[in-house]
């Protein structure tokens, strides 16, 4: 089925394929469960097998990621400007301290957070929401978010080129990386929650 699809793509209009890549990379930031990297890997495979332009595939993935990141940043900024509308759960002393910690973190390391965001599946959108909550200016968000997307997509393109047209191998690499990253995220989250509970008990 994949071979038939790629054959059809090779002999048909290709502009919609780039649009699909842009949309998938952007939607991942608006709806994190969306499989943005799977679509990106598929786009890399299409670049190898269906003779799509590597330049346009790379540009589409990077543009989509940046647009989605800006949407998440806009949501965070809107939340920061409407704290009075937050539910009471998010206005408790513990939540307030956590938000203050996020803002302090972005004041010190905001650029680094945005640069690494693309390398952490499932958490990417939250980095930009945090930047919005911290009222980070749009300029640094574009620059450092763009750097992250450019580096990550260059890595994907390099892996795709080395693997060639073996879609199963490429998808397997992506799934293993996502699984390892998710495990790391869970470990860190458990540590953060444990620290939060401990601090509340001491208080």
pLDDT of 146 > 60? The answer is yes
The sign of the dihedral angle between the CA atoms of 190, 173, 159, 71 is negative
The whole model's pTM is what?
0.75
Q: Could you report the per-residue pLDDT of 82-103, keeping only the tens digit for each?
A: 887 877 766 777 667 777 887 8
In three-state form (DSSP H/G/I as H, E/B as E, the rest C), the secondary structure along the chain is CHHHHHHHHHCCCCHHHHHHHHHHHHHHHHCCCCCHHHHHHHHHHHHHHCCCCHHHHHHHHHHHHHHHHHHHHHHHHHHHCCHHHCCHHHHCHHHHHHHHHHHHHHHHHHHHHHHHHHHCCCCHHHHHHHHHHCCCCHHHHHHHHHHHHHHHHHHHHHHHHHHCCCHHHHHHHHHHHHHHHHHHHHHHHHHHHHHHHHHHHHC
Amino acid 78: pLDDT: 92
Residue spans of the domains in the chain: they are 2-202
Average pLDDT over residues 105-128: 86
User: Per residue in 21-50, pLDDT tens?
Assistant: 788 788 878 776 666 677 777 777 767 666
Residue 1: its pLDDT value, please?
A: 43
User: In the structure, what pLDDT confidence band is assigned to residue 68 with cuts at 50, 70 and 90?
Assistant: very high
- Answer yes or no: are the C-beta atoms of 72 and 29 closer than 8 Å: yes
Whether 11 has a pLDDT exceeding 60, the answer reads: no
- Residue 54 is predicted with a pLDDT of 80
The mean pLDDT of 106-126, rounded to a whole number, is 86
| Band (174; pLDDT cuts 50, 70, 90) | low
Mean pLDDT, the chain, rounded, equals 76
Q: What pLDDT is stored for residue 158 in this prediction?
A: 80
Compute how many other C-beta atoms are within 10 angstroms of the C-beta atom of residue 12: 10
Spacing of C-alpha 140 from chain mean position: 17
Task: Report how far Cα 73 is from the mean position of its chain's Cα atoms.
Answer: 12
What tens digit of pLDDT does each residue of 179-197 get? 666 666 677 666 656 665 6
The segment with the largest mean pLDDT, out of 7-16, 39-48, 62-71, is 62-71
- Of 146, 18, 122, 138, the C-alpha closest to 76 is 138
Percent of the chain with pLDDT over 70: 63
pLDDT score for 2: 45
pLDDT at 70: 95
């Amino acid at each position: 089925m994949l071979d038939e699809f790629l054959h059809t793509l090779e002999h048909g209009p290709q502009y919609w394929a780039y649009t699909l890549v842009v949309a998938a990379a952007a939607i991942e930031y608006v709806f994190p469960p969306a499989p943005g990297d799977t679509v990106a890997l598929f786009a890399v495979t299409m670049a190898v097998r269906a003779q799509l332009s590597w330049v346009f595939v790379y540009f589409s993935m990077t543009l989509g990621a940046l647009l989605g990141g800006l949407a998440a940043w806009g949501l965070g900024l809107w939340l920061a400007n409407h704290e009075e509308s937050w539910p009471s759960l998010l206005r408790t002393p513990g939540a307030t301290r956590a938000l203050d910690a996020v803002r302090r973190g972005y004041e010190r390391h905001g650029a680094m957070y945005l640069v690494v965001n693309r390398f952490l599946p499932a958490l990417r959108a939250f980095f930009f929401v945090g930047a919005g909550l911290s009222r980070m200016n749009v300029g640094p968000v574009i620059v450092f978010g763009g750097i992250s997307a450019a580096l990550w997509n260059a890595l994907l393109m390099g892996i795709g080129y080395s693997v060639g047209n073996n879609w199963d191998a490429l998808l397997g690499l992506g799934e293993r990386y996502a699984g390892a990253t998710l495990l790391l995220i869970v470990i860190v989250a458990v540590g953060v929650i444990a620290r939060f509970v401990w601090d509340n008990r001491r208080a």
